[in-house]
Amino acid sequence: MPVDHSQCTDDYARYGLRVRGLNDYLNRSDLSMQTSNISDLCQGDALIIVDVQNDFLPGGALGVSQGDQVVPLLNHYIQYFRKAELPVYATRDWHPSDHCSFTAQGGIWPPHCIADSEGAQFPPGLLIPANSLIVSKATTRNQDAYSGFQGTCLAQQLRSAGVRRVFIGGLATDYCVLNTVKDALKEGFHVVLLKDAIRAVNLNPGDGNRAIQEMIGLGAATQQLEGLAG
Q: Which residues are catalytic?
A: 51, 137, 176
Answer whether 191's CB lies under 8 Å from 185's CB.
Answer: yes
Pairing of strands 165-171, 45-50: parallel
Report the alpha-carbon distance of residue 172 to residue 221 in Å, rounded.
Answer: 18
Q: Phi-psi region for residue 199, left (φ > 0), alpha (ψ -120 to 50) or beta? A: beta
Summary count for the chain: helices (H), strands (E): 6, 7
Phi, then psi, of 8 in degrees rounded to 5: -125, 135
Cα 25 from chain centre = 20
Helix (H) or strand (E) holding 73: helix 70-83
Sign of the CA dihedral with 139 first, then 199, 80, and 78 last: positive
- Give the SS3 label for residue 48: strand
